[in-house]
Structure 1
Amino acid sequence: MKALLSWREGDDGLPPRQRILAMMVLMSGSLMAVLNINSVNIALPTIADELDISSAASVWIINIYQLVGAASMLTFAALGYRIGRYRLYIGGMITFVVTSVLCALSPSLGWLIVFRAIQGLGSAAMMSIGPSMYRVIFPTRLLGQAMGLTALTVSLAVAGGPALGGLVLAVASWQWLFWINVPLGMAAVWLAIRALPQEQGSHYRFDVLGAVLSAVGLGTFVIMLDSIADMSRPAVVPVLLAVSVASLAGFIWRQRHFDNPLLPLVIFRETRFTMAVMTSFFSFLAQSMAFISLPFLFQNVQGYTPLESAFLFTPWPLGVMIGAPLGGRLADRFSPPLISSIGLLLFVAGLAVLALLGDQPSTLDILWRSALCGLGFGLYQAPNNREMMGSLPKSRSGSASGVLASVRTFGQSVGAALVALVLSGIMNTTMDSAVTVGLALWMGMASAIVALVLSASRIRMLRR
């Protein structure tokens, strides 16, 4: 932490005092955005009971938040150029806080879903440009450590979300899961107005058609993946796929022919950036498959209770909290692709030993395997994000930030759909639960190996 506040002659970025205040703003934004998935998720049964709705209907309280965010990431990243990231980030944070109040006051599921959708927009506005703000706030020599700080914050929210949700529900109603955002959010908005670097927007014409095509293409893709996982309406899947492909094809055509595209495709000509994007997709796909499979392994195969399962999973985000800052520091001194590859190697090893767990492993056996996965993923993530953000000029950092957020979301969505296919028996109806969960973990490991190969290939490219 002390290094992040250091100052050298010729440093770009903000002065140390303003830097720490801006850093607190971005950490607060990430913390609130991620906590509002993990803490609310554990409250879905309680919300379903109090609103007298089905469990399936209550899932949309989470789904709509993620869907809207996924569909609008690229749009907000481009909007940051148009109106300025200062205005966009603060506007997103204010939207998030106001809708937290409205969610807490919602009298029915319909109103709650509407306000959660708007809250998802506020979250996407913050998360889509957050990484690019680190590029402006911190000197280039500290960018890896700054990216490690981002991963640390998200991991803290992932680890603490369920515990926070359970604690709030133990002493208060579910509405307080939204009320607690208000004081933190108001303080963060007050600090953001004073600490975030101000910048003027551009006067070019915003690509409204590109934004619509992007939102439709990405949104229908996520819905299609959810439909594959559910398989209650299989006929809808090809329709959604056709709409998504057509919209994304139209989006690409639009970006090639519009003077000021939403997503400048020229950024993918930078090999370092493209390789980092591909590595990120497969690594998050692997992480998602493991995240979703492990509770089934712990509860359905090994017989642990849900509470015990949550405890067994905790070393993973704790490992990320250790590995991410370490990876960030190392990436500022050594080759980021090298550090990323070492982290992915540990991640692959962790997934392999988890997949090899027997039916009755000891608690310690599970804990160190989960910790190894988290440590490896944290060690990989910060250097890879640094490579993605640092491989493009600062003028393109907003686009890079939007791609980073979108790739993470879609890697996680594809991973969730694949696990659902495996667990539902669609891929093989003859497997018992132990073999099925094991297959999902092995598939996740295969995806992590692809990410490792892509990452390692960058080391050879740098040596040429």
Structure 2
Amino acid sequence: MSETEKRIDASELDGLPPRQQVIAMVTIAISLTLALLDSAVANVALPMIAVDMHSGASTAIWVVNGYQLALAVCLLPFATLGEKHGYRTVYKAGLMLFTLSSLACAFSHSMLALTLSRVLQGVGAAGIMSVNTALVRYIVPRSRLGSAIGINAMVAGTAATLGPTVAGAILSVASWPWLFVINVPLGLVAMALARRNLPDNDRSMRSFDLAGALLGALSIGMLITSVESLGHGMKWQAVVAQLVICVVAGTLLIRKESRIALPQFPFDLLRIPVFALSLCTSVGAFAAQMMAYVALPFFLHGSLGYPPAMVGLLMTPWPLLTGLVAPIAGRLSDRVSPGLLGGIGLAALSTGLVCLAWMPETPRPFDIAWRMMLCGAGFGLFQSPNNRTIIGAAPKSRSGAASGMLGTARLTGQSLGTALVALALGALQLQGVLPGLLCAAVLAGCACVISLLRIRSQRG
């Protein structure tokens, strides 16, 4: 069969055979869990790593930042490579690099070696996450796309819930390198499953635009680092310099690619109203979520005096409810307007954040838990329908670019949320938690309005 015939077959195929669908979704779930767990476990282990490597906290933080930055700048270029060379090719390469760099992390004996290994891990994770949702579009029939994306969201929520617990359990019986060693057998299993069970996709015939990829990576990288630098109190001159580089690179990118039919940076997709609105909704929602995730532990431990283990337990209802509601919301989004579902979910999230900000002076665990549950359920109701809209609004041949933009919007929102709450805590100490939560509620409310605007856009 010729390459052209294969591309036509891939384009016309509406999902894999049932048994292969299950194996392919299990492969996606394992890989996604590895990529998301790895960030959480590294956060927990940072103090131990800093002591073991005789390094300061400001240096050790690059173990986390290096991973996140490499992930952010590689998402869109890898998505483009997936459209040209096949999503499963990029996915398998990313999974292999992630597994090998995990082994390198475990055997690192200096902070420089560990940081570089983490950067490689971030590149591998980008290979996984850039085309993750695009592959789902080829695994299941279009009528079940929302349900499948809901399962993905449930896996992500479960990984977020279990991350600190898994890290704590491993560190209670072993040293920090074992946090990375555990990735190796799971990565090998996922690689074996991916070899024969991931679907092919129709390919783009355009050449890879290296200049466009570099400009896109530079603009996104500088945007995220400038926001994080602002949150960490870096001198304003350095923040302004990063923003200037971001604006210059972004301007050059727009001038270079805005008139191209299939640009390296997906300006063609941003012209689709429902796609652009969904990305804005995602940035606002993830910024609100991250503000709460960062601020609440300071409040629960610093103001209320709960021990760290209890803080983790009190935070659990949020990701737990997100994981439970996400697949239900995904199934509903196959029949109900995702704009409406997302609007209701984000309204619930905003309400929950306001309730968290105005808790009693001495709240009982139940007072905290039900508010966390409301936030988690609202976020779960938003996430799956929103992801489905982002992927479904793009032409099938542009699923990779849509998947890459989905991940970029999430990382941008999380970086923005972290920076905003860092500013509040830096200026007001523990008194900054209340303004931080109220700011998060406002962001969720704005995202709710944008989500509801999609109802009219989708009808049009």
Q: Give the aligned partner of residue 208 of structure 1.
A: 210
Counterpart contact for 2:99–2:184, Cα < 8 Å:
yes
Cα distance in 2 for partners of 1:348, 1:202 equals 41
Counterpart for residue 430 of structure 2: 433
Match of 2:24 in 1: 22
Aligned counterpart in structure 2 of residue 184 of structure 1, from 174, 183, 186: 186
* Aligned-pair CA distance for 1:365: 0.4
Deviation at 1:256, TM superposition (A): 2.0
Amino acid at match of 1:14: L
Find 2:171's aligned residue among 166, 169, 172.
169
The Cα offsets for residues 4-39 of structure 1, whole Å up to 9 and x where unpaired, read as xxxxxx981111111011101111111000000101
Counterparts of 1:45 and 1:62, CA distance in 2: 12
| Residue matched to 2:257 | 255
Alignment-derived partner of residue 103 in structure 2: 101
Contact 1:205 1:260 in 2 (8 A): no
1:136 to 1:288, Cα distance in 2 relative to 1, 3 A: same
Contact residue 207 and residue 260 of structure 1 kept, 8 A = no
Name the residue aligned to 2:219.
Answer: 217
- The offset of 1:239, in angstroms, is 0.6
Pairs within 5 Å for 1:308-457: 308-425=310-427, 431=428, 433-434=430-431, 436-457=432-453
Q: Is the 8 A contact 1:343 1:380 kept in 2?
A: yes
Structure 1 residue identity aligned to 2:26: M
Give the counterpart letter for 2:436 in structure 1: A
Alignment partner, residue 157 of structure 1: 159
Which structure 1 residue ranges, 5 or more long, are not aligned?
1-9, 426-430
| 1:303, distance to aligned residue in structure 2 (A) | 1.7
The residue that corresponds to 1:284 in the other structure is: 286
1:206–1:260: 8 Å Cα contact kept in structure 2? Answer: no
For residues 440 and 259 of structure 2, the distance between their equivalents in structure 1, rounded to whole angstroms, comes to 38
Deviations 1:92-150 (A, max 9, x none): 00000000111101111100111110110000111011011111111111111111111
For 2:74 and 2:203, locate their aligned partners in 1 and report how far apart those are by CA, in whole Å.
19
Partner of 1:227: 229
Distance 1:177 1:304 in 2: 26
Aligned residues: 449
Which of 45, 48, 57 does residue 46 from structure 1 map onto?
A: 48
- 3-state SS of paired residue (2:191): helix
Q: Secondary structure at the match of 1:424?
A: helix
TM-score by length of 1: 0.94
**SS across alignment from 1:113:** helix
Q: Residue type matched to 1:321 in 2?
A: G
Which shows bigger deviation, 337-346 or 133-142?
A: 337-346
* Correspondence 1:86-97 to 2 at 5 A: 86-97=88-99
Letter in 1 for 2:207: R
Query: 1:4 matched to which residue of 2?
Result: none
| Shift of residue 203, structure 1, vs aligned partner | 4.5
User: Using the alignment, how far apart are the partners of 2:110 and 2:438 within structure 1?
Assistant: 42
- Segment of structure 1 superposing worse, 129-138 or 342-351: 342-351
The amino acid that maps onto 1:73 is L
Please report how far the alpha carbon of residue 200 of structure 1 lies from its aligned counterpart in structure 2 after TM superposition. 6.5
Distance 1:211 1:463 in 2: 34
Task: Return the alpha-carbon distance in structure 1 between the equivalents of residues 376 and 434 of structure 2.
Answer: 19
Match of 1:116 in 2: 118
- Does the CA contact (< 8 Å) of 2:345 and 2:377 recur in 1? yes
Q: How far is 1:336 from its partner?
A: 1.6
Query: What does residue 8 of structure 2 align with?
Result: none
CA distance in 2 between partners of 1:63 and 1:184 (Å): 24
1:258 positional shift: 4.8
Higher mean C-alpha deviation, range 349-358 or range 10-19: 10-19
How many angstroms does 1:316 deviate by? 0.5
Residues 216, 265 of structure 2: 8 Å contact kept: no
1:73-95 per-residue CA deviation (whole Å, 9 max, x = no partner) reads 11111111122111100000000
Q: CA RMSD in A?
A: 1.5
CA separation in 1, counterparts of 2:13 and 2:78? 29
Question: Contact conserved, 2:204 with 2:397, CA < 8 A, in 1?
Answer: no
Give the alignment's TM-score, normalised by structure 2. 0.95
Quick one: distance in 1 between partners of 2:25 and 2:459?
34
State the alpha-carbon separation in 2 of the partners of residues 200 and 442 from structure 1: 46
Greater CA drift, 186-195 or 261-270: 261-270
Map of 2:38 onto structure 1 = 36
Give the conservation status (yes or no) of the 8 Å contact 2:291–2:421: yes
Alpha-carbon distance change, 316 to 226 in structure 1, aligned in 2, over 3 angstroms? same
Displacement of 1:59 = 1.0
- Cα gap change, 1:264/1:305 in structure 2, threshold over 3 Å: closer, same or farther? same
The 8 Å contact of residues 301 and 359 in structure 1, kept in 2 or not, is answered as no
Between the aligned partners of 1:127 and 1:226, the Cα distance in structure 2 is 22
Q: Measured at CA, do residues 193 and 443 of structure 1 come closer, stay the same or move farther in structure 2, by a change above 3 Å? A: same
Counterpart of 2:220 in 1: which secondary structure?
Answer: helix
Contact 1:224 1:241 in 2 (8 A): yes
- AA aligned to 2:165 is A
User: Unaligned regions of 5+ residues in structure 2, if any?
Assistant: 1-11
Q: 1:125 to 1:141 in 2, by over 3 A?
A: same
Deviation at 1:248, TM superposition (A): 1.3
| Structure 1 segment 262-281 matched on structure 2, within 5 A | 262-281=264-283
- SS of the aligned residue for 2:24 comes to helix
Q: Aligned AA for 1:405?
A: G
Distance in 2 (CA, whole Å) between partners of 1:164 and 1:389 is: 31
**Percentage of pairs with the same residue:** 40
1:5 is aligned to: none
Which residue identity lines up with residue 440 of structure 2 in the other structure? G
AA partner of residue 442 (structure 2): A
CA distance in structure 2 between the aligned counterparts of 1:432 and 1:47, rounded to whole angstroms = 26
After TM superposition, what 4+ stretches of structure 1 lie above 3 angstroms from structure 2?
Answer: 199-203, 257-260, 460-464
Matched residues in 2 for 1:405 and 1:167: separation? 29
What SS does the corresponding residue of 1:122 show, helix, strand or coil?
helix
- Of 209-218 and 454-463, deviating more is 454-463
| Structure 2 residue aligned with 1:7 | none
Deviates more, 1:188-197 or 1:227-236: 227-236
Conserved 8 A contact 2:83-2:397: no
Q: 66-75 or 202-211: which moved more?
A: 202-211
Letter in 1 for 2:154: L
